[in-house]
Every structure is written in C-alpha cells, then in structure tokens.
Structure 1
C-alpha cells in the first residue's frame, strides 16, 4: 500500500539569499552519494539505486525520495548540472539563486526553470530561468478597463472560464479527470500569478455560428485546458497513470507494460495560435503576438502529486517530458512567469477564447 501524499503548499516568494541558503543543504551530489566529478553513467546508476531505496512504497520517506528526484532532475542533465556546479563554486551567483529547492514534504512546489527534467525541449526553454519582475507588478489590462469592450468587467476579472460538457454514459471518468486537473491549476498556478487565466474545453477553431449559451459539437477538435498569462498560451492535457513509474521516449509513455496514448499538443498549439491570430485580425484589425507552449500532466490514482516518476529514454527525445502533477505545476508557473509581460491581461484574447468554450454557461 502506498503512503499518503505529502501536503503541498504554494511556493512562497523568498529572496535570492534565502533560496541559496535553502538549497545549500542538502547537496545534490551528497543526496545521490556521488562525488562532484562523477561520470554521467555513475550518476544515473546512483539515482536508480537511491530511488529504489527511498521509494515510499518500499518503506522510504517521501521527503528523501523527493530529494532524490530533485537531485536527478538537476544532475541528470549536462546543462542544468553545469549551472548547478557554477552555483556551488560561486554561492552568491544568480545561478545558485535559481537552483531548485529540494521538494520534500511540506516544502511546496519548485518554480525554477533549471529544474526541467532531462530531455525537456519547449518553445520557451530558452527564456531566463528567473521569474520576470513583471509577474509581481500590479495587473495591467489591454484594452484598459475604462473600455467596456471586448469583455465586460465581471468576465475580465473571472479567473476560470468554461466547464466540461457531458460525454454520454461513459464520460464520467473523463470529466472527473478534467475537473481534478482544473482544480489543481486553479489552486497552484492561478494563485501564483494574478494575471493568469484558465480556459477549459477550448475548441481549436472558431465556431461557425457562435451563439450565447450554445454548446459546441463534441466532435470538434479541442484541448482540455488553456492557461493564458500575458502573451503566452499554455496548452495542458492530463492523463491518469496506474503505475508509480513510467518511461518516455519522445513519442509514447509506457507504464505497467502498457503504452498510453497522448494527444499531439504541439500540433494543437500551432493550430490554436494560427486560428486565434486570424480571428483577432478579423474582429479587431490586429492581433497581439502570441507564444505557445504545452505540457502533459500525469495524475496518480492515489492522489500523490509526485507520482508517477518519469524517466526519459532514447536519443531522439523531443518536446516537453510528461510530468507528475506536482512537478508539472512548477514548470507551468515558470513558463508563464518568465514573460516580460506576465502581469498583462489581454482582454481581446480572453474574449476570443471564451467564444470557443464548449460550455461557457458553466463559467
């Protein structure tokens, strides 16, 4: 029987000096029991041994297991390991201030871009790891709130938009998964970013005859969740995974001897970006520059936000690695918070997304 999931709290905004102090103990090399000059193969072997030894299902502590995972996420990637080593040699450097806090029980989510798992490649991976100063500025609105168009004040202030339409007799499980994911995003992402908004069940194409309160056809291509903050649209899908571990080769997720299909969020992101740009140009004569990213979120059946543990495999990995919910949340917050306009609410973009909701009356 698995252990109860740890209680997680949103990551508090600490000063750079405080973060450096927190990450200095424990040392990631010490966590894995290897020397700082260990070869990559030795680090991988040490990680596997430590993960087996400290896994909660084998009697280990959740805190130690999460420290092992955090150590691997940094030391397992040549780029993040090099950044971490620079921070160890120069504790006052920016790199050390951005090193991820070990995610122990009660430690909260880690919002460091340097904590990307091995193989993570996204459209936003080259952004600065640190949180943009704009994310903590007062929320700005475009067009200003003095204009009643294109969205009234109530809807502009609303952080969650759209529900999940019924999908027949066998749609209950899918709806529960969508609702569970939406609640996690609202609790941990929207609370961290005042300008962020969440849209659920969003069609990739505009409706031919959009009408107030009208539900869209279930056959229309759609994405479960779209996070918006400033100029960034972040597509999210969720999948319930039965096993405690999984592997990812860039194309398929395997767990418990099965291959689980994942939607092509990269293609969906391209389609949504193109169609939204066209819609906004038609409606307003201009469209804001929009960036897109995407993330697959994995949900454990027992509610543990740090399961399953995913290990990327193969040389041809591409795209973001699917992540357990607790780790995916940190990635999502970082992507949105890294924008230079992370405090912006783009009301025209919000209105366009609302016109594509499968169940707008549930908002």
Structure 2
C-alpha cells in the first residue's frame, strides 16, 4: 500500500486556520531544520518549500483548500505525486483499527451489503467522542480543539434568486433532523452544511462524519401522498419526480477520502412535518442506486450507517480538517 504523504499544513506544522504570519514563521523554522546546507533531508526540504509556496499565496491556498487538498500535491522520494485513490490513509500515519482493515468494511462496500450481514459488536457510537490523532501538549493540531469540539459547521448557502428561500428552508429542516436524531445520539458525529463539490461546479447540502464513515445528504420537497420508487423516479399520480443525483458526488468523495466509507442519502420532505410522510413503496426489481427516504426511515438508516462503522466514537481529525476547508464561505 502506498504511504500517504502529508498535507501542506502537516508539513509546516500549522492549523488549517493559520494566518499568513503563522505560516511564514512555521516555514522559517522548518526551512532551517530541513535545509540541506544544515544537514537536512533534501526531499523534506522540497516538501517544506512546496507547502509554503501554496499556503503563502491566497489564491493557491484557496484552490488547495477547496479541492480537499488534492491540488498541488506533495511528492514522494521517487518524484511521483500522491493523489486520491492511490492508497494509504489521510491521517499522517494513523489508520483505522486493525479489525476494520481486516475486512469489517471497505470503501467500495455498499451500505445495503453491510445491512444484510451485520457483525455483532458493542455499541460504541454512544460513547464519549475521542480524537484521532489525539491532541498533544506542545503540538499544533490540524484543527484547534474548540473548533473540533463543535458539532455543527456551516450553513445553507444562498444561491440564486428564485427559489433560494425554499431551498434554504428545506436544508434547515434537514439539518434540524440530523441535529435531533443523529448528533444527539452519536457524540462523535460532526455535521457540515454547505460543501463545495470536488468538481468545483456543484454543491453538497450536508455531510455527516462519524468515525471512519461519511454520509452525503441532499433533500427534495414533494406533496403529501403515496409514492413508488422505480430506481430512477418517485412516481405519484402519473407523474415522476427525479431525486437529487448524489451518485457522482459519492464517487468523487470516495476517491478523495479512500480511508472512509462514503455513502449518499436523499431525504424526501413534504409540507406535512410528520416523520412518516410521504409513504414510499419500492418496486421489487429495484437494485442499487440511492433510495429516497421519508424522515422516519432517513434518520433510522443514517444513524445505523454511522453507528455501525469501525470505532464510531472517533472524530477523525485529518478527514474533518479537509471537509472544513471545503465549506462555502
């Protein structure tokens, strides 16, 4: 497995919230330590220089952050650049627990497959959150402790003029459900509202990180009633409604975060705030795809997905830091 190379922030030993002054000071320290004229490693000095070139330039730093650290990658001893999907973990040396690597999950495994063969284990999801890697005295963490302790980050993005109020209301209702039924029961869960897509042209309404699992969430609004899901559309009264297409986003995030298991969830809302509306029947021959869920099933499935992963009580700081940089300003 190809070792994961550190991010520019890790190379300089600064937080993702570091100011330009802090970055310059960290660069001077690291350059003195690793300069070849002082007996340092030339490859490490190259990493320090590249990190400073990117993070000291506001435009390059913004592009690096919004790409979830995939732009301007560091390079290994052979000169080959690291990119998402080449293996390793994005944790500066920490890995998911050995039980996870031994086959408890894999990034390509589908949620439905996991549901068919659950493993008996004690429920860790309700335990107090622990940070990985842990905060250490004297070390500068990727995320300041107070920021890492916050359960919710970001807010619905105001995009466009027409329909913006309806979208924001829908996203606020979705966030409220996640807050009430997931954050309240899984202390490690972190909700991020309003992420840039890795492709730079689209928008992910919500993401929930808990342990080594990441859920991408979007929503839609339909009239009250009974619906049928045929794998592509929600059918009602001879008409069909196409849910948000999250599949491509899930694939992109899975490539960017190979150390996580990434899944998509679509919440179907109605003007009725009840959890069991609308009623959605699924055609027998439907396989695969992201099934649209009413609020009751959505909260149940989302909570199960996050809570049943390896070490669900962990706040995985390297992945969390990258997601925070992807928030819309």
Q: Describe the shift of the 1:315–1:330 C-alpha distance in structure 2 as closer, same or farther (beyond 3 A).
A: same
Q: Describe the shift of the 1:337–1:122 C-alpha distance in structure 2 as closer, same or farther (beyond 3 A).
A: same
Runs of 4+ in 1 over 6 A off after TM superposition: none
The superposition leaves residues 206-234 of structure 1 with CA deviations (integer Å, 9 ceiling, x where unpaired) of 8xxxxxxxxxxxx7222111111000011
1:334 and 2:301 correspond: no
Residue pair 2:111, 2:305 contacting (<8 A) in 1 also: no
- Distance, in Å, in 1 between the alignment partners of 2:171 and 2:236 is 21
Task: Give the number of aligned pairs.
Answer: 217
SS in 1 for 2:268: strand
1:321 and 2:291 correspond: yes
SS in 1 for 2:115: coil
Residue pair 2:234, 2:241 contacting (<8 A) in 1 also: yes
In the TM superposition, what is the alpha-carbon distance from 1:250 to its structure 2 partner? 1.0
Provide the TM-score with structure 1 as the length reference. 0.56
SS in 2 for 1:225: strand
1:203 and 2:193 correspond: no
In the TM superposition, what is the alpha-carbon distance from 1:202 to its structure 2 partner? 1.2
2:269 aligned residue (283, 287, 299):
299
* Comparing 134-143 and 194-203, the one that deviates more: 134-143
- Distance, in Å, in 1 between the alignment partners of 2:223 and 2:166 is 14
- Distance, in Å, in 2 between the alignment partners of 1:332 and 1:130 is 19
- Distance, in Å, in 1 between the alignment partners of 2:181 and 2:288 is 27
- Distance, in Å, in 2 between the alignment partners of 1:335 and 1:133 is 12
- Distance, in Å, in 2 between the alignment partners of 1:326 and 1:267 is 25
1:156 and 2:126 correspond: no
- The runs of 5 or more residues in structure 2 that have no matched partner are 1-109
The answer for the alignment partner of 2:245 in structure 1 is 264
The answer for the alignment partner of 1:223 in structure 2 is 204
The answer for the alignment partner of 2:51 in structure 1 is none
Residue pair 2:214, 2:262 contacting (<8 A) in 1 also: yes
Q: How does 1:140-219 map to 2 (within 5 A)?
A: 140-146=130-136, 147-170=139-162, 171-205=164-198
- Distance, in Å, in 2 between the alignment partners of 1:126 and 1:132 is 18
In the TM superposition, what is the alpha-carbon distance from 1:129 to its structure 2 partner? 6.8
1:349 aligned residue (298, 316, 319):
319
Residue pair 1:130, 1:338 contacting (<8 A) in 2 also: no
CA RMSD, Structure 1 to Structure 2 (Å): 2.1
Residue pair 1:252, 1:261 contacting (<8 A) in 2 also: yes
Q: How does 1:21-170 map to 2 (within 5 A)?
A: 122=112, 124-126=114-116, 128=118, 132-146=122-136, 147-170=139-162
In the TM superposition, what is the alpha-carbon distance from 1:131 to its structure 2 partner? 6.8
Residue pair 1:243, 1:255 contacting (<8 A) in 2 also: no
The answer for the alignment partner of 2:83 in structure 1 is none
1:233 aligned residue (196, 205, 214):
214
- The runs of 5 or more residues in structure 1 that have no matched partner are 1-119, 207-218, 278-288
- Distance, in Å, in 1 between the alignment partners of 2:265 and 2:158 is 24
In the TM superposition, what is the alpha-carbon distance from 1:205 to its structure 2 partner? 1.3
